[in-house]
Amino acid sequence: MNISHKRKSKREFLKIIHFLASHPDKTVCQVLPSLDSGGVERGTLEIARFLTAQGQQNMVISSGGRLEADLKALGVEHICLPVHSKNPFVMIKTAYRLHKLFVEKNVCVVHVRSRAPAWTVKMALWGLKIPMLTTFHGTYGLKPAPFKRWYNQVMVSGALVIAVSEHIARHILENYKVNPDKIRLIPRGADAKTFDARQLDKKKVEALKKDWGVEKGKVVLMLPGRRTKIKGHLLVMEALKKMKHKDVQCFFVGSDQGRTDYTNLLKEKIKELGLQKQVKLIDHCADMLTAYGASDVVISATTKPEAFGRTIPEAQLVKCLVIAANHGGAAETIQHGRTGFHFKPNDSDDLARQLDALLDLPENRKDFMRNVAQKEVLKRYTVETMCKKTWAVYKELMK
pLDDT in tens, 154-171: 999 999 999 999 999 999
pLDDT in tens, 345-397: 999 999 999 999 999 999 999 999 999 999 999 999 999 999 999 999 999 99
CATH number of 197-380: 3.40.50.2000
Residue 276 has phi, psi (to 5 degrees) of -60, -35
pLDDT in tens, 100-111: 999 999 999 999
d(CA 21, CA 25): 9
Give the global pTM: 0.87
Q: How many CB atoms lie within 10 A of CB 335?
A: 15
d(CA 98, CA 281): 45
For the chain, give every residue range classified as CATH 3.40.50.2000: 23-189+382-398, 197-380
Angle CA 263–265–271, to nearest 5: 105
pLDDT band at 339 (very low <50, low <70, confident <90, very high): very high
Orientation of helix 39-53 relative to helix 383-398, angle to 10°: 70
d(CA 60, CA 86): 19
pLDDT in tens, 241-292: 999 999 999 999 999 888 899 999 999 999 999 999 999 999 989 999 999 9
pLDDT band at 143 (very low <50, low <70, confident <90, very high): confident
Cis bond leading into 144, ω under 30°? yes
- Would you identify the CATH topology of the domain 23-189+382-398? Rossmann fold (3.40.50)
Q: Is the pLDDT of residue 68 over 50?
A: yes
